[in-house]
Amino acid sequence: MKTIKTKPLTKEQLSQIGLGWHTDNDGSDYISDELVVISEAEAEAYYKAGNEVYDMFVEAGEYIIENDLLHEIGIPFNLIPLVKMSWENDVHWHLYGRFDFAGGLDGKPIQLIEFNADTPTALYETAVIQWAMLQANDMNEQRQFNNITEAIGNNFKRLITLSEDVSDFEEKYSEYKILFSSIEGNNEEEVTTKFLQTIARDVGFINDFEHLDKVQFSEEEGISNASDEKFEYWFKLFPWEDIAIEEGDLAHILRNIMQNQKAIILNPAYTLMFQSKGMLKILYDLFPDSPYLLECRNEPLEGKKYIEKKIFGREGNNSVIYDANHEAIHTTEGPYEHYDSIYQEFVDLPQDEKGDFYQAGVFFAYESCGLGYRKGGVILDNLSKFVGHIIEEEGKLLPR
């Protein structure tokens, strides 16, 4: 793989453009001072992989619903009605998600690690920060695989048109309103949520922001802000599984709000199916010959290196890498030990000359729409770094 060094954005510059989480807990910079260099063909391969894998998720989701397998992938019982309702009605539109892929560089095959379908992180970094890195380094002519803002904007329009074609959005649009919410005190989540709010406003939606604890819920009236203004759509940057476990009363109210057709929630409840790593096992059962899928089972694999993951684990927590003899060779701690495990074939990530590992994140909003990288250790955790990229054009020299 190939990287080039860049002049880093200063902490002041990052703060000015909204990225307040620029320094990790150990004092190191979160945004790496380099860019991954990819070819046009590699960018196209990531685009194709995201599109084809998403189609497999949709087919697997239908299989799970038809065969009543939601419990097998760990969906909490109090969310099962919401998952089914949102799946069966087209108005519940999946706004955006992020695929984590191994490979794609230096001839290595692209293979799915997992899908962050409900509350994916690194959206602002991928859409905005890596573009700002080009501007800061006088690299305006360099291209990136990054049309996230346009793609998500079109997906907001599809909430109204419910079709691929959004050209008649203004004809069907009649002042629908979206309320955006995140937890108070979390800068990263609030900036990400307000970035999505800006996209929605720019395409024509009336909208507002309200911290999660101030949003009002009524089974008869729907969802309102603190001023009692009602909204047809509610975007919440708060995981569905946390609503099920920590906010059981809210899960019940949201179920009735959906049944009474008082509001539509983004991302929809069915994205929890895609978010569950239990889906990786279903995918492998259905598509064992797909080049994008790693073997995944509900029990330890035989004869190969593999990794144990918790189905709703995050940031690499509560993971164990085993060798082919079932000996643990790398373990991480975390708060997700109460969830069931899946066992996935282990694949090495691309590695640079310093020994850092790189994982590709491909955002999806109706189609693959943006690429960024995280680099770190053999299991990427909350100290991993964000790395932007550029597309190297054949016959053109890159800046030194």
pLDDT of residue 398: 54
Residues of the chain with pLDDT under 70: 174, 394-400
pLDDT of residue 400: 43
pLDDT of residue 395: 52
Rounded to whole angstroms, how far apart are CA atoms 274 and 281?
12
CA 233 from centre of chain:
20
pLDDT tens digits for range 165-175: 998 888 777 67
CB 268 within 8 A of CB 93: yes
DSSP codes joined into one string, 187-256: HHHHHHHHHHHHHHHHHT-EEEE--GGG-EEETTTEEE-TT--EESEEEE-S-HHHHHHH-HHHHHHHHH
pTM for the full predicted model: 0.96
pLDDT of residue 381: 86
Domain ranges of the chain: 2-276+351-392, 295-345
pLDDT of residue 184: 95
- Give the Å distances, CA to CA, from 66 to 46, 63, 84: 30, 5, 10
Structure tokens at 291: 């080049």
